[in-house]
Amino acid sequence: MALGLAACAVAPVRTTPKAITPAQPLARLVVATPDADHDVLAQLLAGEMALTRTDLKAAARHYAKAMALSNDPHVAERAAGLAIAVHDDATAQAALQRWQALGAKPAAMAQARAQLALDVGDTAEARRQLELLLGSDEHDAWRQFGRVLVGARDQAQAAGLLETLATPQRLPADAQAWLAMSELGDRLGRHAYAVQIAEAAMQRFKTAETYAWTAQLKFKDGDRAGAAVLLQKALTREPNNIQLRLAYAGVLGQSGDYAGASKLLEKGPQNADVYAMRAGMAAHLHDDKALATLYRQLQKAPADVREHSAYLLGQLAEMQKRPAEALAWYDQVGDEDEHAFDADLRSALILHGQGKRSDAHALLEQLQLAYLDHPTQLRQAWQADAELYLNELNYAKAEAAFSRALQVVPDDPGLLYGRGLAYAEGGQIDQAVQDFERLLKIKPGDIDASNALGYTLADANRDLPEAERLISSARAAKPDDPAIADSWGWLQYRLGHLDQAVQTLRGAWLARKDADVGVHLGEVLWQQGHKQDAQQVFDEVRKLDPHNGNLQQALKRLHP
């Protein structure tokens, strides 16, 4: 007590009492939050996140938990659908019961129960539920019926139910339903049923769509004439239907009637697809005038058509010998366009043709980087780069480019052939022979490879009997091919048969004024002593290819 009194004696005296702050009304309120397993929103969110990852099993688990916590029939419906999708039959059954208790519509319930019955292989129950579905007042009952069957695990089981239930006597007065059942039958492997329903629909409804679908089935059966007749009938009902016109033109084109297809497409509405098919038909007919007309028409087409036809416009410009315009059109091909790679590839070739070699190779290098994860396009970019180096007589870089491509697609015949040429032109005969022999092992008897190997041996003046065997084989397969004739003529020169060599090479030169063939002919004429004739041929070669490397080498041999 004494100590306590002493402490009180020295404690400071408060002159003003401390204000007491009243507590906020909610300051001590504690809200109980459920854990994730008992939080319906958390389960729904987790389920949706699983769906974005296409993890159906995880999504089904989360929706099953959400269903038990929710009174929303849509949640139970989603849980049932996911459980059926992952073949969790017990959970699906529980979800269906929960959904029914929450007030599911009878038609929707019948659809889901039919799906589950099909999933477990209960055909009788599936049929009973499908009967309930089709007997309901639901306006899209037949569409739901089709959805059940198209998702069935056993296609034969689904096809049997289709033929049993979707009969002409039961189908509604709705052409779309008939067409859907016919298409489903074809998809499920019941082609005869598909044809039966399609022809019955065509006779009953006589719409353009029923004629078109029946035509498609006839075309599938190889009856092109019958398909064409039906498509023509479809067009009489909808003459401006672009898809019908394209389909009809396609059938005519595949039947060889390119002129008829072109005439059909010239009139009526035009869009990017129509212009593209018209260009294809004109190309088949080698109709340069029609292609020029198409180019002019497309240039005046609406902006959206030009935008979707930029690649086609570039091709047409190239055909009209307008490289600058072609480059401009190719530059307008969007990155998402299916022809984006082809447009850039064509641009590189045009640049190279304009003498802009560095720009061409730079563009091809960009393509190689951009398409590292696309082996097909990457191979094309490397091959184009290599072939341009071959054209420049830069054989070392050509070989390197071909070799890089072969690392991506080993033993590719086209790349082996190209690298063999690069080796041969670069004087690396052993490597060239190795590539050509490898190619012949991959493709025994290949004509081009046989000719290339035979010519390489003849040009190097080695193993001439083998060269003769290879070129003879190629010549027998393609007796009128100027390139093979050139090889044969050059082989005869190596064998010392100068008259035969001149005769063969002159024929090849007249058939196709190829610079390398001309060089060979000129050299043999020179060796025969016909120097004036040889000089005349060399002059023609200079006009064709002023920088031809083989000509320069031949002149060095003839004028040491």
Amino acid found at 303: A
Evaluate whether 81 touches 60 at the Cβ level (below 8 Å).
no
Q: Please give the DSSP secondary-structure letter assigned to residue 463.
A: -
Q: Rounded to whole angstroms, how far apart are CA atoms 62 and 52?
A: 13
Comparing C-alpha atoms, which of 381, 391, 446 is closest to residue 413? 446
Tell me, what's the pLDDT at 36? 65
Tell me, what's the pLDDT at 8? 37
The number of CA neighbours under 13 Å toward the Cβ of 283 is 12
pTM score of the predicted model:
0.72
Tell me, what's the pLDDT at 554? 86
Tell me, what's the pLDDT at 532? 92
Residue 80, Cβ density class (10 Å: 0-12 exposed, 13-18 middle, ≥19 buried): buried
| Cβ neighbour number for residue 169 with a 10 Å cutoff | 4
| Cβ neighbour number for residue 137 with a 10 Å cutoff | 7
Q: Rounded to whole angstroms, how far apart are CA atoms 231 and 227?
A: 6
3-state SS record for 285-342: CCCHHHHHHHHHHHHCCCHHHHHHCHHHHHHHHHHCCCHHHHHHHHHCCCCCCCCHHH
Tens place of pLDDT for every residue, the chain, 560 residues? 232 323 333 333 334 444 444 555 544 444 444 566 778 899 999 999 999 999 999 999 999 999 999 999 999 999 999 999 999 999 999 999 999 999 999 999 999 999 999 999 999 999 999 999 999 988 899 999 999 999 999 999 999 999 999 999 999 999 999 999 999 999 999 999 999 999 999 999 999 999 999 999 999 999 999 999 999 999 999 999 999 999 999 999 998 999 999 999 998 999 999 999 999 999 999 999 999 999 999 999 999 999 999 999 999 999 999 999 999 999 999 999 999 999 999 999 999 999 999 999 999 999 999 999 898 899 999 999 999 999 888 999 999 999 988 988 889 999 999 999 999 999 999 999 999 999 999 999 999 999 999 999 999 999 999 999 999 999 999 998 999 999 999 999 999 999 999 999 999 999 888 999 999 999 999 999 999 999 999 999 999 888 787 888 888 888 86
Residues 135, 140, 144, CA angle at the centre, nearest 5°?
Answer: 80
Tell me, what's the pLDDT at 327? 97
Tell me, what's the pLDDT at 34? 56
